[in-house]
Structure 1
């Protein structure tokens, strides 16, 4: 049987694989994080018709005479170039600008992915559409651990930030110089205990012949101070300690005609409930709480391998490690080599439609040409069978 028949069949099979690969690329042109593939061909074994001969004094050397036996698919290579960015406005959508991969935990196996279209499940875990749990590090009391293994990224419902005790407060404004001796001014300000419960800081200012006397009180204790007034109306404000709260009186003045004294800022807070969060370029998830506090909740980590082309596609835009991909290293976003994270954006497919349609034409013509090999070989065999007539 003619060798060309087998060569033609191998060509049909190989170009069919090229058509399959190209069709898959085109089908995933709108798949977030998809990386296109190309088909690589190589020839098969060649049949030796005549071996090579060495050169002699009286004769020249001869080259080998070989006949090829067709083509085969050497492999498919994945193109990991960066896809275009698409703004979605969703806080849970994330895009890697660099060469890193999201690390997902699914069924006890670690999966790498470039698709950042995540959402939260009923347990508050950040997950991919097929249920892979995004991995990273969770903060403890607002502090990220220096090392350790990967953890599920979780933003539980009702997450609270602890309250903070008030330790400082400030008084500003003006106490009227024309107030009569013995006249008082009372100022109140809500402050907080260490457990986040509310307390009241009360300051009573009593006019004296030389200035003002100050009496402070709260549930934590009391304190007293004296403010001396000079001829220009300035007060020698200092610091008054009231039950562990250092009250700064230096912002007070004592000019005539103004009665504007008030207790301004204090540094305590009540306990707060998580209201929203933001994603930093370093992968840190920072929560904003109802008490105004901002606290790091966790940090998304990125994976990196020495040979991304050696990764194995496992579906759902995921990749698994192989013997040729190398071991996975875990790095913080922003580290050289893995890239940074951008929230509210997705990396789209890197498929170039113009190139894919060109490949489609090339594959089609290659398929047709190999089909012609078979029909031509069939005609030759037909001629041989007709010799008997």
Structure 2
């Protein structure tokens, strides 16, 4: 009977609006929760019967959906390890309990997090989400990894008490050799140059270079120098010796014309470097390319070292850890040395709204979300990673309060339907009296 279906429709309306009230309450309660994604309640009509005769009310059915694809505003903070996404994608995380078990943890995702090293050095949030990343090699490079599985990801662990050194692998020499010393009246005296570098154990070592001019003939400059390089880490043995001939033409005067190796590894004209086998391993010394102004030159002025540089640093203690826009976890030491420890990828899924929401603003993949892919931050469809930043809640207080008023009115109206049906049924029972 239609009057009974009207009561059922009113009950369905009460249930649907009470569900909407619950989502509004959650949204308002989490208006200040970083990374919170608001929930919407959609109403769908239920049609039980229609056509000629009495109408049977079907009522309404409520369904909820968390709008994960909506981005919140990014706000700045004072903590370097406060991270937020500035575009599409998620940070890969894992539950601290999964990490502690020693097994491969399940991949979870979050849009933002305030990460801090715990007692074991794990970068985690207070809610127990551990930041995941790919470990990098000693030179900061990363090997080839699978992008559609999380098996290569590891919990990011920072050892604050571990000193770190950075061995020197490259040295650049910039100096002027006096052209007049290669004339017939030149003294033939060697010109010394000491270059400091850092060994594998953080020790300070030196390359002692000696430039000996070759005297010219018939009143002409020879533009030729004999060079020896001795290494302190190798007992001051000669690790390389070569002869440099400089150009004296109008267009390229003063630049290197050619280098002839006497001992040691051969000079590479394409890169302008000479490989050296020093006490700690291999080291490349840049002396300049043929015809280039960089590196060694020979001009008619006094001997001077204009630009000597090297990479590497002595042993230092960790000062700070930051994550850059590309997801590189960079550790800075008190010696100025910066080392990339990990690289944090960005997780992208086909349907973010299909992810399953967990506590602590975490999400996990589902059949509805589709498969995931691990991108480098800023590549493909993904955004960059922002340090010193958090993503705000997507709750709009004004909109939620407006929805609260309409929900309250709709709930009262459905309650009135039940009250009216009750009075009508009472009138029906009174017919017998």
The alpha carbon displacement at 1:144 in A equals 1.0
Q: Classify 1:241/1:346 alpha carbon distance in 2 versus 1 (closer, same or farther; 3 Å).
A: farther
Q: 1:353 deviation in Å? A: 1.8
CA shift for structure 1 position 184: 8.8
Runs of 5+ in structure 2 lacking a partner? 99-105, 246-252, 265-275, 277-283, 288-294
Match of 2:279 in 1: none
Distance 1:349 1:379, change over 3 A: same
Distance in 2 (CA, whole Å) between partners of 1:21 and 1:236 is: 75
Give 1:164's aligned residue: 168
The residue number in structure 2 matching 1:139 is 136
Task: Find out whether 1:104 has 2:93 as its counterpart.
Answer: yes
Q: More deviation in 188-197 or 359-368?
A: 188-197
Query: In 1, Cα distance between the equivalents of 2:190 and 2:364?
Result: 75
Quickly say closer, same or farther: Cα 1:335–1:225, change in 2 above 3 A.
closer
Report if aligned partners of 1:15, 1:363 keep a CA contact under 8 Å in 2.
Answer: yes
1:24/1:287 CA distance change after superposition, 3 Å: same
Is this contact kept in 1: 2:165–2:200, CA < 8 A? no
Distance 1:276 1:360, change over 3 A: same
Aligned with 2:112: secondary structure? Answer: coil
Q: Distance in 1 between matches of 2:244 and 2:411?
A: 98
Could you tell me which runs of 5 or more consecutive residues in structure 1 were left unpaired when the two chains were aligned: 53-62, 229-233
Residue 74 of structure 1 and its aligned partner are, at CA, apart by 3.2
2:280 counterpart of 1:269: no
TM-score (norm 2): 0.70
Quote the Cα distance in structure 2 between the aligned partners of 1:120 and 1:73. Answer: 43
Instruction: Give the direction of change, closer, same or farther, for the CA distance of 1:90–1:225 in structure 2 (3 Å limit).
Output: same
Q: 1:2 to 1:294 in 2, by over 3 A?
A: same
- Of 123, 127, 133, the residue aligned with 2:124 is 127
Partner of 2:203: 197
Question: Which of 148, 152, 156 is equivalent to 1:153?
Answer: 156
Residues 160/74 of structure 1: CA separation in 2 closer, same or farther (3 Å cut): same
1:113 counterpart (106, 110, 115): 110
Residues 72 and 289 of structure 1, relative CA distance in 2, 3 Å threshold = same
SS, match of residue 330 in structure 2 = strand
| Contact residue 313 and residue 337 of structure 2 kept, 8 A | no
Quote the Cα distance in structure 2 between the aligned partners of 1:3 and 1:227: 102
Give the equivalent residue in structure 2 for 1:60: none
SS in 2 for 1:116: strand
Shift of 1:35: 1.0
Which moved further from structure 2: 281-290 or 8-17?
A: 281-290
1:81 to 62, 66, 70: 70
Between the aligned partners of 1:27 and 1:67, the Cα distance in structure 2 is: 39
CA shift for structure 1 position 21: 0.5
> Residue 307 of structure 1 aligns with which residue?
351
Conserved? CA contact 2:73–2:391, under 8 Å: yes
- Given the alignment of the two structures, is residue 339 of structure 1 paired with residue 336 of structure 2, yes or no? no
**In 2 relative to 1, CA 169–21 (structure 1 residues): closer, same or farther, beyond 3 Å?**
same
* Contact 1:92–1:117 under 8 Å retained in 2: yes
Alignment match, 1:29: 31
Q: Using a 3 Å threshold, how does the CA distance of structure 1 residues 272 and 27 change in structure 2: closer, same or farther?
A: same
Distance 1:186 1:309, change over 3 A: closer
Q: Matches of 1:327 and 1:213 in 2, distance apart?
A: 64
Q: CA deviation at 1:261?
A: 3.8
Alpha-carbon shift at residue 33 of structure 1 (Å)? 1.3
SS at match of 1:100: coil
1:92 aligns with 2:92: no
1:143-178 CA distances to partner (integer Å, 9 max, x unpaired)? 11211432222332226243125655444598999x
Equivalent pair of 1:278/1:286 in contact (CA under 8 Å): yes
Please say which structure displays the higher CA radius of gyration: 1
Change (3 A) 1:84 1:213: closer
Distance change in 2, residues 1:79/1:308 (3 Å): closer
Partner of 1:67: 56
Q: Could you tell me how far apart the structure 2 residues matched to 1:133 and 1:72 are?
A: 39
SS of equivalent residue, structure 1 residue 112? strand
Secondary structure at 2:409 match in 1: helix
C-alpha RMSD over aligned residues: 4.0
CA distance in 1, matches of 2:244, 2:366: 76
